[in-house]
Chains A and B, each alone.
Chain A
Amino acid sequence: MTMIHELELDDTDRQLINLIQLDFPLDSRPFRTLGDQIGTSEQEVIDHLKRLTDIGVIRRIGPILNTKGLGGASTLIAMQVPEDAIDGVASWINDFDEVSHNYLRPGAYNIWFTVSASSKERLHEMVGEIEALGHPFLELPVTRLFKIGVKFEV
């Protein structure tokens, strides 16, 4: 992991990071607008954002998509996989484009992954394939949403 001596963030960096996670200006000169908001030039904003992108603080500036809004269906699956099968199963799971997150966690249910499918039918089909693996699993769809994808303050 890139830690972190080059990761000295100055005030402009911090202001930009805190600002553009939620309120990136949708206008023809967004970086000039940001510069106006924090009292610096368009070029200065672009230079800072380029550096922040280079060092990995900013992954990208773009749309964060909503599976449901796209007409899709998503779920979380927790699976019980024996120790010696973990790596194989994890990479089998990763091969699905629809899998966005996949983690090893402690406990009887040790592999946890999220699926965002283009439709309910596709999700159902995938769950069928997952079932055919033969490992016990829980399908854990969201029933109520309280908070999602919120910003990191720096």
Chain B
Amino acid sequence: MDDLDLKLIKLTQDGIDLVPEPFKEIALELAISEAEVIDRIEVLVESGVIRRFGASIGHRVLGIVANAMCVWNVPDDRVEEVGAVMAGFGEVTHCYERVRYPEWDYNLYAMIHARTREECEHTAHDISRATGISDYILLFSEKEFKKTGVRI
């Protein structure tokens, strides 16, 4: 990644313009060709600097207002298998294994998004049945203090 890539990310991270040739404007600003702008974005996606290039959705506006972080205590030797099952649920938007501690046994985290708390609970219950993991808690967000994307 070079300086131009960095500038390109900064110019696009708040969204491209909704005009017929959005990459041409960016190219003008960076004094490179439109083809180079597109090539550079593709390379950044391939190399994993950009996770994906696309739309971020305001899911709350769509009525998807309930979000729960569901934490699970999964035996270490079952994490790979159980994580894959959880990730297969459409309501699960994020699924990670994280470090666990003596005072915090939970090691798998599934973010569940749905229209209502009941739907979140239902999904967690289904996951529990599908995986046989019964030690879990649903931590609903009671207040959102901050939510932004990753920025540079």
Contacts and interface: CB of A to CB of B under 8 A. Distances in A.
Contacts of B49: 65-66, 69-70
A28 B140 CA distance: 43
Interface of A: 1-4, 7, 17, 20-24, 26-32, 42, 46, 49-50, 53, 55-70, 74, 76, 78, 90-91, 93-94, 97, 99-107, 109, 111-113, 116, 118, 138-154
Contacts of B35: 28
A105 B142 contact: yes
Contact of A140 (B98, B142, B149): B98
B13 A63 contact: yes
Interface residues of B, number: 76
Given A42-B20, A49-B18, A101-B147, A149 B52 contact: yes
A150 B93 CA distance: 5
Interface of B: 1, 9, 12-16, 18-24, 34-35, 38, 41-42, 44-45, 47-65, 69, 79-80, 83-84, 86-87, 90, 92-99, 101, 103-104, 109, 113, 137, 139-152
A100 B96 CA distance: 17
26 contacts: A17-B55, A17-B57, A49-B18, A57-B57, A60-B56, A62-B15, A63-B52, A64-B54, A66-B49, A70-B1, A70-B150, A101-B148, A103-B141, A104-B143, A106-B140, A107-B139, A116-B150, A118-B152, A138-B104, A142-B98, A143-B96, A143-B99, A145-B96, A147-B95, A149-B94, A152-B59
A105 B69 contact: yes
Contacts of A93: 145-146
A64 B21 CA distance: 20
**Is the contact region of chain A dominated by helix, strand, or loop, or is it mixed?**
mixed
A138 B93 contact: no
B147 A100 contact: yes
B50 A69 contact: yes
B62 A104 contact: no
Nearest to B147: A101
A90 B53 contact: no
A28 B34 contact: yes
B145 A76 contact: no
Contacts of A3: 61, 63
A143 to B, nearest CB: 5
